Amino acid sequence: MPAAPTYPRLLGDIGGTNARFALIRSQGGPLEDVRTLSGALYEGPAEAIEAYLKEVGGDRPVSGGIGIANPIDGDRIRMTNHTWAFSIDAVRKTLGFTHLVFVNDFTALALSLPHLPADELDQIGGTQAEKGGCIGVIGPGTGLGVSGLVPSPTGYIPLSGEGGHATVAATTAEEAAVIAEVGKHYPHVSAERLISGPGLVTLHEALAAVRGLPSPGLGAPAITDGALSGKDSLALDSINMFCALLGTIAGNLALTLGAKGGVFIGGGIVPRFGELFARTPFRERFEAKGRFRDYLATVPVYVIHSAYPALVGAAEALDRALAQPPLNR
Ligand SMILES: Nc1ncnc2c1ncn2[C@@H]1O[C@H](COP(=O)(O)OP(=O)(O)OP(=O)(O)O)[C@@H](O)[C@H]1O
C-alpha cells in the first residue's frame, strides 16, 4: 500500500505574543505563506491554525510541527505567558491531522541551525566551527532561551533545557552593583532577569539607580535607539552591559557543552543592535575565562539573521517524528 501523503505540512512558531505559521508543500520545498497571528485573538492553537489555513487556502495539511515558548512535558501544555492550555492530541484530532508534534521553541531553533545558510549568519570572532562538534544556542527575546545540539552516531540531538534561568554572574564592580540592585526585587536574579527584552529595561533602570540618576522610564526599543543614536550614554552603557553579561553566559554555555561547533545567537533583540553588537564587550567577555581563553578564542559565534529559523527547526522536528517507525499498538 502506498504511504499516505505527508505534504503539505504545517509549521508553527508560537511565542508569548505572536503565532507564526507556514506551509511546506513538497519535500525539500521552501517555507511558503508565512503569516503572523496575534495569539490573544484566538482561544487556542486549533482556532489559530484553522484561521491561518482558511486565510492561505489550498490543499489542507495532515501533519504539523510546532515550536512553542513553553517546556514540553507530555501531552498537556499550559502556556506560561498566555491563557492557552490544551492537549496536543486533542488539537491534532480537532484539526484532523495524522501527526502533530510540539517542541520547545529553542529546541526548534537548535534543530534549525545545520539548515541555516551562511549568508544569514554574522560571525563574531573565533575561527572555523568544528564539523560535527557540539553546538550552543542562546537567544534573548521576551525571555532568554538556551539550547544546543549534541552529536550522536545518528545525527545531532537537540537539548531541551531551561538555561535562561541559570544565575547571572557579575565580572565588574558595576555589574555586581546592578545585580545587587535588581536582587532587592527578586530573590533569585537569573540571566533572563537582565538578558531579555524586559531584562534590558530592568538593567537600564538598575544602572541609573546605581549611578544615582533618576529613573529613565524607557522601553527596550527606546534604549536601543538611544544607544544607536550615540546621544544617550546611559542607554549605550546599558546595551554594553547587556552584551557583556550575554558574553559571560554564552562563554559558560560554550565551556559547559564544549561547543567547538560554535555558539549561535537567536532571538529578536541582538539582530536589532546591528553593527553596534560587534563593538560591545560581548566577544571579549565570551573569551574572558582565565586559563580557557585560548580554548574559547577558537569558538565562533554567529548572530542569526534568518527571518523564521524556528519554523525551519519545526520542519526538522516533524521530519524526525515522521521518520520514526509507527508504534505497535
Ligand atoms: N529595538 C529593540 N531593542 C531591544 N529590545 C527590543 C527591541 N524591539 C523589541 N524588543 C524586545 O524584544 C522582545 C521580543 O523579542 P522577540 O522579537 O524575540 O519575540 P519573541 O520572544 O519571539 O516573542 P513572540 O514570538 O511572542 O513575538 C520584547 O521584550 C521587546 O521589548
Q: Which of 21, 194, 204, 269 to mutate to test the pocket of ligand 1 (most atoms within 8 A of CB)?
A: 269
Q: How far is the CA of 221 from the centre of ligand 1 (A)?
A: 9
Whole-angstrom CA distances from 172 to 46, 179, 181, 297 are 48, 11, 14, 21
CA–CA gap between residue 319 and residue 24 (Å, rounded): 11
The pLDDT of residue 160 is 86
* Residue keyed to cell 580554548: 295
> Could you give the 3-state DSSP secondary structure of residue 12?
strand
Sequence-separated (6 or more) residues with CB below 8 Å from residue 50: 95
In this predicted complex, what is the ipTM?
0.96
Nearest-CA residue for atom 24 of ligand 1: 15
DSSP string, 55-86: HH-SSPPSEEEEEESS---SSEEE-TTSS-EE
Q: Which of 227, 325, 242 is nearest to 282 (CA)?
A: 242
Q: Which long-range contacts (CB under 8 A, 24 or more apart) does 83-89 make?
A: 84/39, 84/43, 84/44, 84/45, 85/44, 86/44, 86/45, 86/46
The pLDDT of residue 329 is 38
Which residues are bridge partners to 150 per DSSP? 157
The pLDDT of residue 328 is 45
The pLDDT of residue 315 is 97
Q: How far is the CA of 141 from the centre of ligand 1 (A)?
A: 5
CA–CA gap between residue 89 and residue 101 (Å, rounded): 9
Whole-angstrom CA distances from 119 to 116, 122, 304 are 8, 8, 10
Nearest-CA residue for atom 8 of ligand 1: 221
pLDDT in tens, 110-142: 999 999 999 999 999 999 999 999 999 999 998
Q: Could you give the maximum distance between any two Cα atoms of the chain, in Å?
A: 75
Residue 299 φ then ψ, to 5°:
-80, 115
Residue 138 · residue 263 · CB < 8 Å = yes
Q: How far is the CA of 154 from the centre of ligand 1 (A)?
A: 35
The interaxial angle of helices 173-183 and 197-210, nearest 10 deg, is: 110
CA–CA gap between residue 71 and residue 74 (Å, rounded): 10
Q: How far is the CA of 198 from the centre of ligand 1 (A)?
A: 9
Question: Domains in the chain, please, with CATH?
Answer: 9-111+309-323 (3.30.420.40), 121-304 (3.40.367.20)
The pLDDT of residue 113 is 97
Which residues are bridge partners to 284 per DSSP? none
Nearest-CA residue for atom 31 of ligand 1: 197
Q: Which of 295, 317, 190 is nearest to 203 (CA)?
A: 190
The pLDDT of residue 81 is 67
CA–CA gap between residue 145 and residue 121 (Å, rounded): 18
Q: How far is the CA of 71 from the centre of ligand 1 (A)?
A: 19
Q: How far is the CA of 143 from the centre of ligand 1 (A)?
A: 9
Buried b / exposed e across 147-160, counting CB within 10 Å, b at 16+?
bbbbeeeeebebbe
Q: Which of 18, 36, 142, 196 to mutate to test the pocket of ligand 1 (most atoms within 8 A of CB)?
A: 142
The stretches in the chain having pLDDT less than 50 are 1, 328-329
Residue 12 · residue 64 · CB < 8 Å = yes
CB-based pocket (< 6 A), ligand 1 = 15-18, 141-142, 197-198, 200, 220-221, 224, 267-269, 272
CA–CA gap between residue 292 and residue 287 (Å, rounded): 8
Whole-angstrom CA distances from 220 to 141, 274, 280, 319 are 11, 15, 17, 37
For residue 172, the tally of other CB atoms under 10 A from its CB is: 12
